[in-house]
Amino acid sequence: MPERDDRRQFHHVRALMAGTREGMIAVAPDRTVRMINEPAAAMFEVTRNGCVGSSLDCLATPQLSAALDAAFADRVPVVMDCERNGRDYTCTVTPYEDGKAWGAIVTISDNSEILAVRRRSEAILTSTSDGIIIFDPNDRITFVNPAAERMLGRGIETLVGLVTDTWEVFGLSPDPEGTVRETGSQVREVRIQEPESRIVDVHVDPIVDDRQVYLGSVTTIRDVTVEREAMQMKNEFVSTVSHELRTPLTSIKGYIDLILDGEAGEINEIQQEFLSIVKENSDRLVDLINDMLDISRIESGRIVLKVQPLDIAERIAGAVNTFRAVLDQHGRDIKLDVSDNLPLAAGDPDRVGQVLINFISNAIKYSPEGGDIGVHASLEGKLVRVAISDEGIGIAAEDQARLFTKFYRVDSSLTREIGGTGLGLSICKSIIELLGGQVGVESEEGSGSTFWFTLPLASEKHVRTPALEGPLGSPGGRILVIDDSEDVANLIATYLSRRGYEVVKAFNADEAWEYAIELEPRVITLDVMVGEGAGFNLLRNLKADPRTADIPVVVLSIICDQGRSERCGATDYLEKPIDKKRLMSVIDSLVGSLDSPVVLVTDDDKNIVDLLSRTLKKRGYAVMAAYDGREAMAAIERTRPDAILLDLRMPVMDGYDVLEALKADPKTADIPVVIMSAYQIDQERANILSLASQLVGKPFDAEELVTHVESVMSESEQS
């Protein structure tokens, strides 16, 4: 009976060997072939009858005999590769105990197609110009192509088998975000110094199978040195050309404005018309240069954004006022629809204003038949959405997809007539996206267009720092103007002289330093490019010397380096060509605030803040205006006020908290504070109010309130 069971089991094994596609050979303890199936016989080109009972040597494969020896010796499976007649096979020799002796089962897989695919893949990876490094799941390098060897200056023998992080291969610390297995794709731009200086983009991507099992990672290294150098050359070219154009344009624009303002005597109507054409075209040229510089800054990552809490309604009002006169001349109107109590957005005031002006300007220009302009602002989820609508020519669907790309302009007779570079919308898109928002357009041909953008809401980390505004009245004092262009220096001097200032001009850094020490000017205007960039050193020296450290310096420059100017100690920064009104406003505020007591007005009601600010400035005070407690604390940190007008009920940080913080700090404890409130005092916090100098109830008379301020300041000085 047992013999019959053995034969039955033997038949089962034979059936199993006959039914599989893989080759199978049963080797007896005496190393003869006990059994061989058809696939194995075909692989080794033997007959089953001629092979069974013969020595394993009948297969004419010495590697297989050696693998059998190893399997019998170590009692473990042994895997080997062999090639027969141009085919690639993998043989697995698995030993088994046969009574007191050991036999083996040899399984043979034909991997010719798989290996062919692998060889083709490796050939592709080897021939590509991008460097490629492959890691297994344990961060062990398993493959490095020749391009990666060349870029890294390290051979395959030093890299394959190395257990490491991708970034450590480049001599960098491991990625702070963690492994690619956990975080997905990672990208860095890396500068390699050896064996030669290169700039490379390094992409690390996980490798997963169809079941999302992590199999390792692949690192791709692309040499972008040429592209980066070309981009740098382009940016330098754009900057150089733009800067060279800005200097003469400063003089052209400035002197034309002076003539049109009647500063050089009366001009007749024809002269007025011709000069207005020159002014209009010089303004267009300035806009073009600014667009080119903005694109260059955005592409090179050098654009500076001052993100702070932004009152969208206020920004919209300012932009709309820019176009009121133009619209009134043509009997058109801008209809505003701004939601009440719209929360503050996070944005750069100047840049958001630039986007608004661009959208509104386009709405006017591309509505040749007239029609009103609509500006709508509302809250959508956690975003503020602003939309500018017109009743103009509309935009075809196929053009809308490309509208925000650089240099693209819709091809129509109207766009050709209006002109332009096609940069404005691209710049707007980049600005809004850098601020965390989006832009878009909705339009139909002949039915007008709506351009919109969104901005995220301001968070607690965004705090506006109130500006210091000087008192109203006649300015005066000495101003030192430093510029290596005599024409520009004379232009600035003309502006300031007609405003009532005494002006001293310097045309190089050494001369400027001597004048600053000797004449002690009230304010200095400085072109940082004086002496081929010596202006920055001059600025640092002025701020380092006790004799000149307190003199405010306003940088006037053709380059956009506001951040560097502020780090060197500049009080303010204006780009050339110079905006006369803004320059005068900055100088007046600085000069006025030097001599005048400073009052900080803090109230969340802007009408009250505006009323008090005007009243105080008329009475000879410099003013800082804050709309909540955190803004007030930011203002105090920048400029210590001589007195504070403080409302109690405010968002973000109320007046109680501000007062408590002020009196707890020895540096601000002696600043007199006048409390303004229309509400019943919080009895639980009433003790805090004892720290204030006076308490005034709302409503109040602005003039009387200023008298209270003067009273507490006088008492503070006497004590």
State pLDDT tens for residues 646-679.
988 888 888 888 988 998 898 998 898 888 877 6
Cross-sheet strand order for the sheet of 439-443 = 334-338, 373-380, 383-389, 449-456, 439-443
- In this prediction, residue 174 carries a pLDDT of 65
- Highest average pLDDT, of 189-198, 221-230, 636-645, comes from 636-645
Beta-carbon contacts of residue 399 (< 8 Å; ≥ 6 apart): 410
Q: Is the pLDDT of residue 12 over 60?
A: no
Cα torsion 434, 435, 438, 439: sign = negative
In order, the DSSP letters of 19-40 are H-SSEEEEE-TTSBEEEE-HHH
DSSP 410: -
pTM (2 d.p.): 0.64
Percent of the chain with pLDDT over 90: 17
Instruction: Find the mean pLDDT for residues 442-452.
Output: 86
Which pLDDT does position 157 carry in this prediction?
81
Question: Which of 38, 51, 40, 48 shows the shortest CA–CA distance to 92?
Answer: 40
Are 611 and 699 within 8 A, CB to CB?
no
> Please, how many CA atoms are within 13 Å of residue 443, restricted to the half-sphere of its CB?
27
Average pLDDT over residues 510-530: 90
- Asked if 659 contacts 692 with a C-beta cutoff of 8 angstroms, the reply is yes
Strand 87-98 and strand 101-110: the pairing is antiparallel
Q: What is the 3-state secondary structure (H, E, C) of 221-263?
A: EEECHHHHHHHHHHHHHHHHHHHHHHHHHHHHHHHHHHHHCCC
pLDDT tens digits, 14-33: 666 666 778 888 888 888 88
Quote the percentage of the chain above a pLDDT of 70: 90
- Across the range 57-70, mean pLDDT stands at 85
Domains of the chain and any CATH numbers: 2-110 (3.30.450.20), 114-223 (3.30.450.20), 228-300 (1.10.287.130), 308-456 (3.30.565.10), 469-593 (3.40.50.2300), 596-718 (3.40.50.2300)
Q: Is residue 644 helix, strand or coil?
A: strand
Cα angle vertex 514, ends 513, 520, to 5°? 90
Q: What's the pLDDT band for 4 if we cut at 50, 70, 90?
A: very low
CB 134 within 8 A of CB 166: no
Closest CA to 714 of 642, 619, 641: 642
Whether the predicted pLDDT of 600 surpasses 90: yes
User: SS3 breakdown of the chain: % helix, strand, coil, rounded to 5?
Assistant: 45, 25, 30
Per-residue tokens: 483: 């510029």
